[in-house]
Amino acid sequence: MTDTPQTPDEPAAPEKDHGVLYIGMDLGTSRTSVSASNGVRETVHSMVGYPKDVVSRKLLKRDVLFGTEALEKRLSLKMYKPLEKGVLKYTGDAEMDAEAKANLKAAQDLISEAIRLSKPRQDELIYCVIGCPAEASMKNREAILEAARASVDSVMLCSEPFAVAYGLEWLEDVLVIDIGAGTTDLCRMHGTMPEDTDQLTFDVAGDAIDAALDAEIEKQCPGAQRTIQMVKEMKERFGFIGDASERAMVTLPVNGKPTEFDLTDAMQNACKILVDPIVGGIHELVSSFDPEFQDKLKNRVLLAGGGSLLKGLDSAIEKAMKERLGGGKVIRIEEPIYGGSNGALKIAHDMPADYWEQLK
């Protein structure tokens, strides 16, 4: 076992599985990624847009748009972000309001688009494993399954951090932290399927940083006009914790006039809100673990998900762990965007064929 996790080569589909396309999907609040057994890997922003009226439908010549294209055309669209804090904005209640039904439809269309991006052949069965937050409720899990069944022949769910660990084959004495937009999920692995006590989920994640940064801009940049999407793009470009490698200089309109602002301090203040809850979660999972294996666990902390791309986050967590736990080692995975979908694909491959048949 090496100290740095490597993404294993995707296994070829066995002979008995000709005619089956296996898909691993990381269904996220901000982006949805798929890894397929035919070698396709794609990601799409989890945004769905429908034309507002006959004029926009004539302009766009389509009934639904997704991801970046939907964002670019959003003035002509009714926009939906069907996932919030990692779960569908849909409860499964018998009496749904119009907005709940619309979000379910958007979720179904988003999953269908992700499947389409995987390039299945018409004659192939589609077996899909979808990653969801570690502590997603039974009702939310059923909602995800309901949304997926319209597009696949057989589907199962797994927790996102478990999928990351499984894909890297780090299944023993490792603690995975998967930072998405809506949730941060922690899962400790000790050579068996994780139980509820091995997993934690909290909603301080990418969206929370965006909200904190927006509040900082409101305080520090009087009159600066922006959207939350602009704020998110600033974070993705400049986000950091610790020492700044460059000044976060951005141009925002003030009463229509482009004006330059230095957001370095604001960026630092917003991004550092991740550290305390993550280290608190690590502390909880380490301190409740078998005492003989606690040192191994805290020295094998895997950082995954889009939020792991924040510069300096690994060092900041290690520094806080030293103060609170006497030390620890944090390792970033190589492919944070596809870590969950790669692992879900490996799970799909490894499930027996008769199990998939039972799930149909």
Q: Residues 261-310: pLDDT tens digits?
A: 999 999 999 999 999 999 999 999 999 999 999 999 999 999 999 999 99
pLDDT tens profile 300-336: 999 999 999 999 999 999 999 999 999 999 999 988 9
Please check the confidence at residue 5 and state whether its pLDDT lies above 80.
no
The pLDDT mean for the chain works out to 90
pLDDT at residue 35, as a whole number:
97
Specify the range with the lowest mean pLDDT, choosing from 93-102, 114-123, 184-193, 347-356.
93-102
Taking only the tens place, the pLDDT of each residue in 21-54 is 999 999 988 999 999 999 999 999 999 999 999 9
**Residue-by-residue DSSP string for 256-321:** TEEEEEE-HHHHHHHHGGGHHHHHHHHHHHHHTS-GGGHHHHHT-EEEESGGGGSBTHHHHHHHHH
Q: What is the pLDDT of residue 18?
A: 63
pLDDT at 1 over 60: no
Report the distance separating Cα 150 and Cα 144, nearest Å: 11
Percent of the chain scoring above 90 in pLDDT = 76
By three-state DSSP, how is residue 3 classified?
Answer: coil
Does the pLDDT at position 13 exceed 50? no
| Distances 79 to 65, 114, 126, 144, 310 between C-alpha atoms, Å | 9, 18, 28, 20, 28
Over residues 64-79, the pLDDT tens digits come to: 999 999 999 999 999 9
Cross-strand bridge partners of residue 184: 179, 202
Which range, of 77-86, 154-163, 211-220, 308-317, averages the lowest pLDDT?
77-86
CA angle 179, 263, 183 (to 5 degrees): 15
- pLDDT the model gives residue 223: 94
Q: Which amino acid is present at 97?
A: D
Max alpha carbon distance in the chain (Å)?
A: 67
95-152 residue pLDDT tens: 567 887 888 899 999 999 999 999 999 999 999 999 988 767 777 888 888 889 999 9
pLDDT at 181 over 80: yes
Res. 245 pLDDT band, cuts 50 70 90: confident
User: Is there a contact between 128 and 155 (Cβ–Cβ < 8 Å)?
Assistant: yes
pTM: 0.86
- Residue identified by tokens 């070829």 is 12
Domains of the chain: 15-167+338-359 (3.30.420.40)
Question: Confidence class of residue 235 from pLDDT cuts 50, 70 and 90?
Answer: very high
Given pLDDT bands bounded at 50, 70 and 90, which one contains residue 85?
confident
